[in-house]
Amino acid sequence: PKNRQDEDKLSSSLNKLKLEDETFETIRNPETAQLLIGGQGTTHIGFILDRMKNTYKVEVDTHDQKIVYRETIRAKGEAQGRHKKQSGGAGQFGDVFIRFEPTTEEFVFAEEIFGGAVPKNYFPAVEKGLRETFEKGPLAGFPVVGVKCTLYDGSYHPVDSNEISFRLAANLAWRNAVTNLKPTILEPIYRVDVTVKDDYVGDIMGDITKRRGRVLGLEQKEGFQVIMAEVPEAEITKYAIDLKAMTQGSGRFARTFLRYEAVPENLIDAIVKEYKEQ
């Protein structure tokens, strides 16, 4: 809402509008902190916003939907992380050597410690430090996925070492290694089924290609053609509006999340710039 004090009124008005109109929906995205509203097109959304303003006296600011990206690494590397702090009395000391490499799993933590270089009771602290660090990636602050972290050496101090020291040491190891790990950004890819009349098939397939999409196939259904494709979410945030314009209001589509894929190299800088400015 434009007025922070209208938060409760906003929630209440949206609930009432949903009761009146089953084709209207709202979703709170926890990662972007955006409240997303969905309807049957720009006219419908405009009508909803007018109702909120005139009937419920709530004015809102609107923005484009943010894409939920991820970050990952493309190369293997290793680094030391050494945290040492002395300020009278007991200090802080943690020292780790960690190897980082790409994996198909979301996150893997392993250890190859020999001879007690790092005591076992500090392994969970190292893992926790890495998990916390991976909440914000090095490029644009998106969560980091697809990394295997192997703790293979380190050292400790019998008095000054503690959990916080090893958590901070793990963070330093990642920061020291990351520039050599070829970090990149991953984007969500969606399966899109577009239903159109025969006359529009060529135009729609050409448009999907322009949106960095891949056409998977075509099938006939109840007198219509269904184009099956995979398209990055960033290219279809306003597809409902565009599809109506291209098919004189007769086209429709359904989408389903599939997976994350690496963003083309030439687009990374623009994404980083956009999200850092926010």
Closest CA to 24 of 32, 16, 57: 16
Q: What is the mean pLDDT of residues 18-43?
A: 84
Considering the domain architecture, whether residues 81 and 175 belong to the same structural domain is answered as yes
Q: What is the mean pLDDT of residues 45-59?
A: 90
Predicted TM-score (pTM) of this structure:
0.86
Considering the domain architecture, whether residues 168 and 86 belong to the same structural domain is answered as yes
Considering the domain architecture, whether residues 89 and 164 belong to the same structural domain is answered as yes
Q: Is residue 42's pLDDT more than 90?
A: no
Q: What is the mean pLDDT of residues 54-62?
A: 88
Considering the domain architecture, whether residues 225 and 262 belong to the same structural domain is answered as yes
Q: Give the span between the Cα atoms of 129 and 246, in whole angstroms.
A: 50
Q: Is residue 211's pLDDT more than 80?
A: yes
pLDDT by residue (tens digit) across 235-261? 999 898 899 999 999 999 999 999 999
Q: Is residue 278's pLDDT more than 80?
A: no
For every residue of 18-79, DSSP letters joined together read HHH-TT-EEEEETTTTEEEEE-SSHHHHHHHHHHHHHTS-------PPPP--EEEESS-EEE
Q: Give the span between the Cα atoms of 254 and 44, in whole angstroms.
A: 18
Residue 15 maps to which CATH number? 3.30.70.870
Considering the domain architecture, whether residues 130 and 199 belong to the same structural domain is answered as no
Q: Of the ranges 60-69, 119-128, 192-201, which one carries the lowest mean pLDDT score?
A: 60-69
Q: State the average pLDDT for the chain.
A: 93
Residue 258 maps to which CATH number? 3.30.70.240
Considering the domain architecture, whether residues 163 and 87 belong to the same structural domain is answered as yes
Domain boundary among 135, 157, 181: 181
Q: What is the mean pLDDT of residues 65-83?
A: 96
Q: How are strands ordered across the β-sheet holding 147-155?
A: 77-85, 92-102, 147-155, 107-111
State the pLDDT confidence band at 276, using cuts at 50, 70 and 90.
confident
Domains contained in the chain, number: 3
**pLDDT of res. 86:** 82
Considering the domain architecture, whether residues 40 and 120 belong to the same structural domain is answered as no
pLDDT by residue (tens digit) across 129-183? 999 999 999 999 999 999 999 999 999 999 999 999 999 999 999 999 999 999 9
Domain boundary among 35, 66, 97: 66
**pLDDT of res. 254:** 94
Considering the domain architecture, whether residues 151 and 245 belong to the same structural domain is answered as no
Domain containing residue 145 = 71-181
Q: Give the span between the Cα atoms of 154 and 62, in whole angstroms.
A: 50
Domain boundary among 50, 66, 82: 66
Considering the domain architecture, whether residues 75 and 34 belong to the same structural domain is answered as no
Measured from the Cβ of residue 12, the count of other Cβ atoms closer than 10 Å reads: 13
Considering the domain architecture, whether residues 169 and 199 belong to the same structural domain is answered as no
State the pLDDT confidence band at 65, using cuts at 50, 70 and 90.
confident
Q: Give the span between the Cα atoms of 170 and 180, in whole angstroms.
A: 16
Q: Is residue 226's pLDDT more than 80?
A: yes
Token code pair at residue 246: 């291209």
Q: Is residue 194's pLDDT more than 80?
A: yes
**pLDDT of res. 105:** 96
Where would I find the beta strands (DSSP E) of 86-182?
A: 92-102, 107-111, 147-155
DSSP state of 98: E
Considering the domain architecture, whether residues 50 and 80 belong to the same structural domain is answered as no
Token code pair at residue 118: 């790092």
Helices and strands per DSSP (H, E), number in the chain: 7, 11
Strand, coil or helix: 121: helix
Considering the domain architecture, whether residues 46 and 118 belong to the same structural domain is answered as no
Residue 145 maps to which CATH number? 3.30.230.10
